[in-house]
Structure formats: structure tokens, C-alpha cells
Amino acid sequence: MVTLETTASDFYALHPSVERVGLGVSGDSSGIWQATRNNLHRIRMIRRAIQASRPEVVISFMVPTTIITLLAARMPRVPVIVSERMDPIRSPLPRIWNTLRRMTYPLAHAVVVQTPEAQSWADGFLRSEAVHVIPNPVSTSLRANATDMSNVVNLGEGWRHVVAVGRLDSQKGFDLLLRAFAVCRENRPGWKLTILGDGEERERLEALTTQLGIGADVQMPGTVPDTTPFLRRADLFVLSSRYEGFPNALLEAMALGIPVIATDCASGPKRIVRNDVDGLLVRSDDAPALANAMAALMDDEARRLRLGHHAVDVTKRFEVRHIMGMWETIIDDILHSSTPNAGSAST
């Protein structure tokens, strides 16, 4: 496993059999010339890592790392699978990277996207046989394997709890969630909100919490190694994102039987949530609509229980063994391909 970051930035422990390589070449650039130099250096470093590990297949996640990896792998001519983890239609990308993506992705042996909508986007400039739809999996063992954090989970007794999970940035729409919660809280003082995660918007969100007068009922404890104990205590999970790929946090909440509300911000959430069957979908970037949906479920425990009961079906729909089998099929096809040229290989 190779990353542009150093190993010191790792948050999760890996299995001892995983060889971990941290290149230490990430970071921002102050201008176009520095960015060009830095990215050429990253290409060289990734190429060295590929040559040192001598892989049969390289899988690269997240643009622009996917682009850099495709360029780096051309010299040793190693087959590359690239995977888009966000909605490529709605997630912003600088023009230069968008151009480079369209130029380099045809070099990949396979391009993995997470929804049929993203597949339609990829089919616009790639061979259709090279594009594969593979959603994220969710484990059926979440209930059994949760870390015991009963001594640190502080949601308070005697309250109902809304929980959200994600980076504190504009994409996740936590400002919308705070505004919606403030509206709901006016007539529902028995509810509290917990947002798990950290990021660049913490100060702005904390200031908004104070401005809305809901500071006593909102906590943002930061990033935690295991969200499951918090989710177990939740009465409602909310995904307020402005755009998404195929959100793991939403899958994990539903796997634990929690009623969910998700913004219909992209194809991912609507592929997960079946509206009014196992959760609710609301318009994205619409705080009043989100507030209305939250209020409806806060006031109706029977409806919450019904949605939560059906939510656990995600463990069957996106079961780990099935999703991993889809990945293995692509890898096996590449390994058995007789065409050495990445640009024309069949998958």
C-alpha cells in the first residue's frame, strides 16, 4: 500500500501482512510552476515504488492521484485500475486536472465507478468495456466488532440523538444540518446533535452553532477511531452532503438499523436509500427541506422504527463478499489478458 502521505499520518492500523510505504510527497503548491515540479516529483516517486514492489496490477484511488499513477506506470508498463470515489459529474475539479483525466484515463486497463450515472459519464470518453460499476460494500459484522467505547461516548442520558459523520468541509453540508437542527430544536428540546469528524470548517461551524443559539445541544468531538458506538446510541442519522460518491457512513448507519435522512445530492445516496422504505431522501442544499424531514421523523417514533428495521437490508444489497468478488473478477481478467498494451487491453 503506497500513499503520497507519510506513514505518520495513518489513522487506522493495518494488518501486519500489509507492507506500508509512505512517500511523503503530498502538500499544496504556491503556483503553477511549483505544482508542475511537485507533480513531476510525485510521478518519479510513484514510479520508483512501482518498480520496487513489482506488482502485477496497480489500483489507484481518488483523482488526481489516479492521473499521476497512470503517468508513473507507463514506464514499467504495469496494468492500472483507476477508481473514481466521488461523483465525477458534480464534484468540482480544476480545469487542468479535468483535461488530464480525460487524456490519461484511456490508458487504464479498467476504470471503476460507483453508480450507473457515473458510468454514463465515463462512457462519454472511454471504451464501454473498460468501465465497471462497483459500489462500496458494508460489513455484516459491524454490530459484533464495534470497539468498546462506553467510557468515552458522551451523548448524554435521557436525550434523543441525531448523529452525522464526515469531514468538516463544505461538501458535507454541515452548515445546512446545523440550520435545520436549529429549526427542529425550537419545538423539540429533547434532541441533541453530534457531528463526528474534523476539518477546515470547524471554526466556521462552531461560530454558526453559537450564532444559532444551539451550542448547548451540539457537540463536535472530532475524529474517532470507531464511529459505531456513537451510531448505536443514535435515534436518527443525517447525511447533509452537497455532493457525494457512495457514502460509507450512510451504509454503516443503515447496517446498524438506524433510520436515516440523506440529501439526494448525487446518484450514490439514492442508490442506497429507498425513499420512505429504509430512509428518507430530501433535496440537496435545502436546509428547510432537511428540517422538515428531520422534524417528521423526530415526531414519529413508529416511523423511525419501521425505517430502521428495513435499513439493515443494505448488508444484503452491498455485502462485502459480493462486492469484493466484483473487484477480483476485474483483476483476474486483467491478469489473464494476453494484450500487453494498456491502451488497448480488454477487461
Q: Which residues pair with 82 in a beta bridge?
A: 60, 111
CATH at residue 13: 3.40.50.2000
Same domain, 298 and 158: yes
CA dist 133 and 329 (Å) reads 12
pTM of the shown model: 0.89
Domain count, the chain: 2
In a domain, 340, yes or no: no
Structural domain includes residue 347: no
Cα of 139 vs its chain's centroid, Å: 15
22 within a domain of the structure (yes/no) = yes
Convert the pLDDT of each residue in 264-304 to its tens digit: 987 789 999 999 999 999 999 999 999 999 999 999 999 99
Q: Are residues 157 and 18 in the same domain?
A: no
At residue 157, the pLDDT reads: 65
Domain for residue 78, yes or no?
Answer: yes
Grid cell listed for 173: 453540508
Same domain, 196 and 209: yes
**In this structure, what DSSP letter does residue 52 have?**
H
In this prediction, the residues of the chain whose per-residue pLDDT falls under 70 are 142-157, 338-347
- Whether omega for the bond prior to residue 259 falls within 30 degrees of 0, making it cis, is no
Q: Determine the pLDDT at residue 343.
A: 42
131 DSSP β-pair partners: 111
| 63 vs 121: CA distance, rounded Å | 15
What CA–CA distance (Å, rounded) separates 202 from 148? Answer: 27
Residues 283 and 331 both lie in one domain = no
Q: Assess whether 261 and 159 both reside in one domain.
A: yes
Q: Is residue 246 part of a domain?
A: yes
Contact 109, 70 (CB under 8 A): no
Distance CA 162, CA 74 (A): 48
What is residue 266's predicted lDDT score, i.e. its pLDDT? 72
Claim to verify: residue 66 and residue 188 sit in the same structural domain:
no
User: What are the pLDDT digits (tens) for 149-192?
Assistant: 444 455 666 789 999 999 999 999 999 999 999 999 999 999 99
Residue 14 and residue 119 share a domain: yes
Is the domain of 69 the same as that of 118?
Answer: yes
From CA 220, how far away is CA 205, in angstroms rounded? 9
- List the beta strands (DSSP E) in 29-98: 58-61, 80-83
Instruction: Find the helix packing angle between 202-212 and 174-185, rounded to 10°.
Output: 20
Q: How far apart are CA 30 and CA 33, in angstroms?
A: 8
CA proximity to 203, closest of 161, 240, 174, 227? 174
Backbone angles phi, psi at 45, to 5 degrees: -65, -40
The number of beta carbons lying within 10 Å of the beta carbon of residue 321 is 8
What does the alpha-carbon distance between residue 82 and residue 25 come to, in Å, rounded to a whole number?
Answer: 20
Q: Do 131 and 111 contact (CB within 8 A), yes or no?
A: yes
Say which DSSP state 105 is in: G
Range of the domain at 208: 142-317
pLDDT of 27 reads 87
- The torsion angles phi and psi of 59, rounded to 5 degrees, stand at -115, 125
pLDDT, one tens digit per residue, over 298-321 is 999 999 999 999 999 999 999 999
